[in-house]
């Protein structure tokens, strides 16, 4: 990228971040809530894109870590509403879960991997749906906003900036990871796993690391979701949560990271916009998805790149 173009991109990015940060000061409650949801789901979708778009691992059980992050945050925040409860414990819990689930799931590939990851997430759903101590079907409510560095995040504006910072850090971390030596290995695995093995890479270990990183970030997203809503239900574990993230990644553009956030935005905005006109917003979304797959398989980012004539 030429220095001029890089400058333009950075300025545009900076302005975008500023706009997002300033939102609560200029817009009403509902739009702000939408934006915050986009940020949270953006983190979730980006973590899935790391798996799918870079390591080539299609998981249909990513909601497992979203849910674990949410429930651990809920339980911890009710005890002590600080950073450890809000972020550290959920991340550790989901990371650990990813390590264990990954250890078993990565032994298989393709359809079997999809089914195994799905099965694990559904197990969590079944459990949380039934047990009283986790609120059964109703889940946990009354989750307090944390206090971080002395600042209470109970207000919309402070919570908004907190979300923005975390989303930004997550995006930055993933961006760096994807460009790192590790990220390049993942890409090689996606392109030809067998050849990577033949050349000397212990592919299983790399996949497990990717799965764990992705799971940890998904848990972070889940924790933020619990803080955002003030509640968490077993729905967080349900396969539709994984499915929605998959849709977001595909609509935005697999293997682009930024696409995941765009896909999250498209999905959430579409949902909100269309549902004011009709109950059948899911149908519209489905058709949109089919349209993308048929006519713009590169997703939003792919289509944009085509339009702007950038190298794919």
Partner 1 sequence: MSAAPGAPLLSIDKLARSFGALSAVAGVSLAVGRAERRAVIGPNGAGKTTLFNLITGQLAPSGGRVVFDGVPVTGLAPHAVARRGISRSFQRNNLFPGLTVLESLRLAAAADGRGSYRLFGDVARLRAPLDRARETAAAVGLADRIDAPAGALSYGEQRQLEVGIALATRPKLLLLDEPTAGMSPEETDRMTRLLVGLPREVTLLIIEHDMDVVASLADRVTVLHYGEVLLEGSFAEVKADPRVYEVYLGSA
- Which residue lies nearer to partner 1 by CB, 129 or 175? 175
- Which residue lies nearer to partner 1 by CB, 34 or 196? 196
Among 78, 107, 184, 280, binds partner 1 (CB under 8 A): 184
The token duo for 65 is 């870590």
39: CB partners within 8 A, 6+ apart = 20, 163, 164, 167
Site size toward partner 1 (CB under 8 A) is 26
Site for partner 1 in 39-98 (CB under 8 A): none
Phi-psi region of 45 (alpha: psi -120 to 50; beta: other; left: phi over 0): alpha
Q: How far is the CB of 182 from partner 1 (least distance, A)?
A: 5
Among 11, 13, 136, 202, binds partner 1 (CB under 8 A): 202
Check binding of 306 to partner 1 (CB under 8 A): no
Stretch binding partner 1 (CB under 8 A), from 130-138, 144-152, 180-188, 288-296: 180-188
Stretch binding partner 1 (CB under 8 A), from 11-19, 154-162, 173-181, 262-270: 173-181
Among 88, 96, 144, 201, binds partner 1 (CB under 8 A): 201
- Which residue lies nearer to partner 1 by CB, 188 or 219? 188
Q: How far is the CB of 65 from partner 1 (least distance, A)?
A: 18
Stretch binding partner 1 (CB under 8 A), from 18-26, 111-119, 137-145, 181-189: 181-189
Q: How far is the CB of 64 from partner 1 (least distance, A)?
A: 22
Check binding of 264 to partner 1 (CB under 8 A): no
Stretch binding partner 1 (CB under 8 A), from 60-68, 146-154, 192-200, 297-305: 192-200
Residues that bind partner 1 (CB under 8 A): 176-177, 179-185, 187-188, 191-192, 194-203, 206, 209, 213
């Amino acid at each position: 990228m030429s220095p001029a173009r890089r400058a333009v991109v950075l300025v545009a990015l900076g302005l975008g971040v500023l706009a997002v940060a300033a939102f609560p000061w200029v817009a009403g409650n509902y739009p702000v809530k939408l934006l915050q949801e986009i940020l949270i789901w953006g983190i979730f979708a980006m973590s899935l894109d790391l798996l799918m778009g870079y390591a080539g691992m299609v998981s249909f059980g990513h909601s497992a870590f979203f849910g674990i992050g949410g429930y651990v945050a809920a339980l911890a925040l009710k005890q002590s509403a600080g950073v450890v409860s809000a972020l550290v414990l959920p991340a550790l819990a989901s990371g650990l879960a990813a390590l264990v689930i990954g250890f078993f799931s990565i032994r298989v590939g393709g359809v079997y991997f999809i089914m195994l990851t799905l099965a694990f997430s559904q197990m969590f759903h079944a459990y949380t749906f039934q047990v009283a101590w986790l609120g059964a079907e109703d889940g946990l409510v009354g989750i307090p906003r944390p206090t971080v560095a002395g600042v209470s995040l109970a207000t919309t504006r402070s919570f908004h900036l907190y979300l923005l910072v975390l989303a930004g850090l997550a995006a930055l971390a993933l961006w760096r990871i994807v460009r790192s030596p590790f990220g390049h290995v993942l890409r090689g695995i996606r392109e030809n796993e067998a050849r990577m093995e033949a050349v000397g890479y212990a592919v299983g270990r790399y996949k497990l690391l990717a799965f764990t990183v992705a799971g940890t970030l998904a848990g972070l997203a889940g924790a933020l979701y619990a803080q955002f809503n003030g509640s968490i239900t077993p729905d967080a574990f349900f396969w539709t949560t994984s499915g929605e993230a998959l849709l977001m990644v595909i609509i935005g553009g697999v293997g682009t990271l930024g696409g995941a956030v765009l896909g999250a935005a498209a999905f959430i905005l579409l949902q909100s916009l269309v549902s004011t006109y009709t109950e059948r917003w899911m149908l519209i979304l489905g058709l949109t998805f089919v349209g993308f797959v048929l006519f713009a398989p590169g997703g939003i980012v792919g289509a944009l790149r085509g339009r702007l004539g950038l190298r794919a």
